[in-house]
Amino acid sequence: MKSYLATVVFLISISGFSQVISSKALLKNAMDYHDPNGNWTSFNDTFTVVMTTPSAPKRTSIISINLPDDYFSVTATKDSITTTYTLDKGKCQMSYNGKALDSISAKEKNMTCDRANLYKNYYSYLYGLPMKLKDPGTNLSDKVEKKTFKGKDYLVLKVTYDEAVGSDVWYFYFNPKTYAMEIYQFFKTDTNSKEKSDTGEYIVLTEEALVNDIKMPKARAWYYNKDDKYLGTDTLVVD
């Protein structure tokens, strides 16, 4: 009897990790955890991100995203320099230490509208996860993997993208009990679209902050895949 009860307890204890779940169901559960009211599609808010790295001064970025009005702005301050990139319904504006720039003066400061769009895509993607995995051009693997990373068990969703969107392969690690997203990882690919194991980075997410009633990672620590070298941490600051 004791042996039977021990077996039952063991099976119950691991059931959170041994369950069979589809990739679509996993993504839905993760979205329900992070954005239970479906607020991302109407996101309109401002938040601050402080980047710290081992060998450079901190950078403080104030980011505004208004999806319904197609508006994005990021004002970043590092040392004594402040730059602002704004995209308002596709119209690009830039400023340097508070002074608006024309195309010639912007080029002299190494500022471009291409970079403005890069920042828009970067911040909207990372802080819109996992909801952004519903975007067109995103391909979910049919199979959910079960992996142990740094001694902890995860349900892992593999994601690739249409060629027009991107060539990297991403892996998203979710807590098997709560479905919270706790790690994501990407690898570069070769000319045959195969992963290059010595490329890319993994990002460890810790703590959470509520922005527009969405649970976003408060801290994102970046590491190289190839040697676990620490790169830096982005910390989300909200009022």
Q: What one-character DSSP code corresponds to residue 47?
A: E
* CATH at residue 152: 2.40.128
- At 126, list the tokens: 């990372």
> 239 and 143, same structural domain?
yes
> 202 and 105, same structural domain?
no
Query: Tell me, what's the pLDDT at 103?
Result: 87
Structural domain for 182, as ranges: 137-239
- At 124, list the tokens: 């909207």
Side-chain half-sphere CA neighbours of 234 within 13 A:
20
Q: How far is residue 138 from each of residues 18, 166, 178, 183, measured CA to CA in Å?
A: 26, 9, 24, 18
Beta bridge mates, 12: none
How many CB atoms are closer than 10 A to CB 201? Answer: 15
Q: Does residue 28 lie within any of the structural domains?
A: no
Beta bridge mates, 209: 216
What residues contact residue 209 under an 8 Å CB cut-off, 6+ apart?
A: 47, 215, 216, 217, 218, 236, 238
What residues contact residue 1 under an 8 Å CB cut-off, 6+ apart?
A: none
Query: Tell me, what's the pLDDT at 9?
Result: 43
pLDDT per residue rounded down to tens, the chain (239 residues): 445 444 444 444 444 455 689 999 999 999 999 999 999 999 999 999 999 999 899 999 999 999 999 999 999 999 999 999 999 999 999 999 999 999 899 999 999 999 999 999 999 999 999 999 999 999 999 999 999 999 999 999 999 999 889 899 999 999 999 999 999 999 999 988 889 999 999 999 999 999 999 999 999 999 999 999 999 999 999 87
Q: Does residue 225 lie within any of the structural domains?
A: yes
pLDDT in tens, 101-157: 998 999 999 999 999 999 999 999 999 999 999 999 999 999 999 999 999 999 999
> 110 and 164, same structural domain?
no
What residues contact residue 14 under an 8 Å CB cut-off, 6+ apart?
A: none
Q: Regarding beta strands 91-96 and 81-88, do their DSSP bridges make them parallel or antiparallel, or are they unpaired?
A: antiparallel
- Say how many domains are in the chain: 2
